[in-house]
Chain A
């Protein structure tokens, strides 16, 4: 007990804690500490006291230092070490516990840090490499997944584009049709609103009492339009033909299209120079040179 107390008070534990001992002396202290609880406790106390003293002198590092230092450290520990493990180990050992005898021969260093030679020497860089390999694998998988997703989205987008293009073409066609119809309606409207056009009502004859149509005749421009309200349906191969009677003489004013005959709108007919009466007959498809009077359906005077 006396010896142990002497040992404790010899100052060697402080030297150990301050890193002043050679590796051999260090090992001797550790052996003493392992053997005697009092030494172990005393040593822990000395280390704690220095730790407390150090911590009491804490300085918050200047602004920006954290990012710089952590950045450099992360880059260095992430990069595969070029230092062979053995020399790295020696380097670290030197940092932690090497005697500082080079500069001051009388004072070998022995950190109580007691950094031991790496037993798993290859562990650090290998672990770091495999970590990076894993990270790279994960990144590759993620990238593949994202690529697949992007490819399917691209395909979707592409087929959507085709669909939209055909849709647009359909709209364009529709628009053209509508434009044409609108033009026709405008034209009809102009005719209907034009005071120069005289409306001639054509009433059904006794063969078709309910038949009813109109002729719009512009005596100045000689334009003629026909507007069907109701006409009997025709057998196949037959067409209605409009005639203008000028002083009792029939003049061909053209045949009516099926849609006009069914009453869908005005139809421009052949120009007529002069007329007092308009009449419609049923003629073979394409019309006749002379009207078949027996088939006269509607007739009306100006």
Chain B
């Protein structure tokens, strides 16, 4: 694992942060923000695709995270995984609530992919070793499926429908992509 990765944050440091947050230490919130905001903002922005909305969602997410810390169970997963899911779900709710994908699915996908491509140059962090590796190691079909699942909030069946491929193929490609990603972590 890469030393700078959030998912490999030293367990002691993460446990300490969790302890402080669960003890309602407000100063720990600043620390939390500084450590996780770029990753959380990256996910939120890629889902809502607008800076002002991304800011709103990030803010809303942090308040929810603060109030929900008491229920965070470290034995069930990393802190990063947990907060990532809160942000991701809030973002997906956001685009759903504004009926982001009204009309035909195909139209919606084209729009969203175009938006992603346009957003890429400003939002890429080329220095991020992980993203370079991902671009090199994931075949486009795999990456497309992961993006649809992760950043568009599609279900596996929706992806199958969207790409007009069997659900089994979606599952296989998704699983293969995850294996590739797992190898990159190690």
Contact = CB atoms under 8 A, between A and B. Distances in A.
B7 A55 contact: yes
A52 B38 contact: no
A111 interface: yes
Residue of A10, A49, A91 most packed against chain B (CB within 10 A): A49
A302 to B, nearest CB: 102
A68 interface: yes
The A interface, classified by DSSP as helix, strand, loop or mixed, is: helix
A118 B43 CA distance: 27
B170 to A, nearest CB: 8
Interface stretch (A98-106, A147-155, A276-284, A285-293): A98-106
A83 B145 CA distance: 39
A172 interface: no
Interface in B131-164: 131, 133-134, 146, 149-151, 153, 155-158
A72 B144 CA distance: 36
Interface residues of B, number: 77
Interface of B: 5-7, 24, 26, 29-30, 33-34, 37-39, 41-43, 45-46, 51, 54-55, 58-59, 61-64, 66-68, 70-73, 76-78, 80-86, 88-90, 92-93, 96-97, 123, 125, 128, 130-131, 133-134, 146, 149-151, 153, 155-158, 170-171, 174-175, 177-179, 181-182, 184-185
28 contacts: A9-B175, A15-B155, A49-B179, A49-B185, A50-B84, A50-B178, A55-B130, A56-B133, A57-B123, A58-B38, A60-B38, A60-B41, A61-B37, A65-B41, A68-B55, A69-B55, A70-B29, A73-B66, A77-B66, A95-B86, A95-B89, A96-B82, A100-B96, A106-B158, A111-B88, A112-B85, A113-B77, A118-B70
